[in-house]
Amino acid sequence: MSRLKEAVVGFALGAVGGCILGATEDPVDQSVSVLTAASPLKPLIEEVRTVGALGLGTLMGAASLTVAMTSAIAGVILAATVASVFVAMRSCGSSHTPSAGLWASAGLAAAFGTTLSGATFGRVMEWIVQSYGMVGLLWALSIFTVLKPPLRFLFQLLWKQGMACCTVGDEVWARDRTHIEAADLQQRLRMAVQIEQKIQILEKGGNADGSEHQRTWAAERREREGIERRKMESEEAEMEQRTIQDWINTVLIKHVDFMAFSGIPMTVVAIVTSGFGLFGYGGHQSVLIVLLALVAVIAYYLLKSPDFKFWMLVGCMGMIATFVIAMLTLHAGQLVVTASMKIKVLAQKPSREEISARMNQQSSVEALNAACFVARLCQLGLGATVGGALVRRGAVQVKVTVGAAVMAAALLVGVEVLAPALGEGGRAGALLGVVAAAGVSVGAAAAAAGGWSSWPGTLGNVGGLVLGAAGMGRWHLVNIGLQLPVGYVFAMINPF
C-alpha cells in the first residue's frame, strides 16, 4: 500500500478501537454514580468505622480487581475451551484449515463469558456487602483466594482428561494417512504392472500403441500429482491444527495460573490493613508505613523471581493499585478534616459527629470511585493483552479490531436493556466485561500500529485511536488519557 493508503487504513482501524472504548465511558460513569448514591453507599459508610479508611480502600480495591481479573480469565478459559472443541470438530471435516469460524466462536464465547461472569460476581459482591458488611467481604475474598489454587489443579486435571477423550481428531488424521498411503501403494503397483506389461510386449517383438501409452502415462502422472498434493495438504493441515491446539493449551495454562495466583498479593494487603482496622488502627498514619513496607517486600520477592511469570507482573500491579486506592481513601477523609479546620476559623463549629460522618462518606465515595476505575483499567489491560496476542499470532488485525468492537457494542446494548434485572452491582460487573471486549479491539489496533511499513500508517493508527476515544468519550481527557497508555502497554506485553 502507498503511504497515504496506509495512513487512511491505520486511522480507520484506530478510530474503530477508540470509538468503542469511548462509548463505554458514559455507561460506566453512570453506573459508578448510581453506586455512590446515598442508599447504595450506606453499607460502606457504616463499615468505615469497622475496618477503617485504609481497610475499606484495600478491601474495595482487592475485591474489585479480583472480580475484574476473574471475569476476564473466565472469558479466556471459555474461549479456549470452545476453540479447542472447534478445532477437534473441524478435524473431522473435509477441510482441515482453520477458518474465521474458529476465531468468531472463540470471540463470542470470551465476550459472553466475561460479561456474564462479571455480572454474577458484581451481584454477589453487592449482596455480600449489603448482608454481611466489609467483614463478610473480607472472609469471602480470603476464602476465594485460598480456593483458587486447588481449583487450578482440578481444572488442569479436567482439561487433560478432556484432551485425552478428544481422540477423534487423531483417528481422522490416522485414517487419512492410511487412505493416502493405500492409494499411493495401489498407484505404484499399477504403474509397475503397466511397465512390466510394456517390457513383455517389447520382448515378444510387439509394438505398443504410442498414443494409448501417452494417454495412460498422462493419467497416471495426474493421479500421482493428486496423491502427492493430498499428502502435502494433509500434513500441512495436521501441523496447523496441532500448532493451534498447542497455542490454545499454552494460553489456557498461563491464564489458569494467572487466575489462581495473581490475587494473592492483593488479598494479603487487604487482610493486613483490615486487621489493623478491626483493632482500631484503620486510619492511623503509622499503618501506612506498615502497608508500604508490606507492598515493597512482596513486590521485591515477586519481581526478583528467576522464573518470572505474567501473573507476578499483574499481581504486583494490582497490589500497588490497591495500595493507591487505600491512600486515596485515607486522603479523602483527611481533606474533610482540613476543610473543617478552615470552617472553625470562620467561627463555624461543626460537631465531632458531623466531621466523622463527612469523613466516612467522603472516604467511601473515594474508595468506590477509585476501585471501579482501577477495575476498569484492569479489564481494559487484560483485553488489550488478548487483542495484541491475537494480532501477533497471525489473526487479521482488521477482523480482530472490528469484530471485537462490534461484539462490545452489542454487549453494551444488551447490558443497558437488561439493567433492571441485573441490579446495580450486576450492571457494573457486566459493564466491566464490555470494557474487556473493547480492550481487545484497542489492543488489536495498538498492536497493529507497529506493523505498518511507514510512519504515516503508525501515526494514523495512533491518531485515530486517540481521536475516536476522546470524541466518543465526550472529551473526558483525564480518563481517556489514563486508559489509552494502559491499553498500549498491555497490548505490547506477551504473556505467553
pLDDT tens-place string over residues 279-304: 777 666 677 888 888 888 988 888 88
* pLDDT, position 76: 86
Non-local CB neighbours of 140 within 8 Å, separated by 6+ positions: 128, 132
DSSP letters spanning 30-53: HHHHHHTSHHHHHHHHHHHHHHHH
pLDDT at position 96: 43
Cell of 32: 459508578
Residue among 489, 238, 271, 245 nearest 382 (CA): 489
Nearest to 63 by CA among 173, 153, 142, 179: 142
- State the pLDDT at residue 95: 46
| Chain centroid to CA 126 | 23
d(CA 41, CA 247): 45
The dihedrals phi and psi of 200, each to the nearest 5 degrees, come to -65, -40
What's the pLDDT score for residue 72?
A: 87
Residue that has been written with the C-alpha cell 499470532 in this structure = 393
pLDDT at residue 387, as a whole number = 85
| Residue 438: C-alpha distances to residues 12, 26, 77, 483 (Å) | 16, 14, 18, 12
Q: Which sequence spans correspond to the domains of the chain?
A: 3-171+237-492
Q: How many CA atoms lie within 13 A of 215 on its CB side?
A: 5
Q: How far is CA 361 from the centre of its chain?
A: 34
**Nearest Cα to Cα of residue 447 among 495, 393, 380:** 393
Which parts of the chain sit beneath pLDDT 50? 92-98
pLDDT at 461: 81
Spatial distance between the Cα atoms of 79 and 96, rounded to a whole number of angstroms:
20
Report the chain's C-alpha Rg in angstroms: 30
Q: How many beta carbons lie within 10 A of that of residue 228, not counting itself?
A: 12
Q: What is the pLDDT at residue 52?
A: 80
Most distant CA pair in the chain, distance: 132
Helix orientation angle between 38-90 and 419-449, rounded to the nearest 10 degrees? 60
**The predicted structure's pLDDT at residue 359:** 81
pLDDT value, residue 100? 64
The DSSP 8-state label assigned to residue 304 in this structure reads: T
For residue 53, what pLDDT is reported? 82
Give the 3-state secondary structure of 224-246: HHHHHHHHHHHHHHHHHHHHHHH
Q: Say if CB 281 and CB 117 are below 8 A apart.
A: no
- Terminal CA-CA length for the chain: 31
Task: Please count the other Cβ atoms lying within 10 Å of the Cβ belonging to residue 437.
Answer: 32
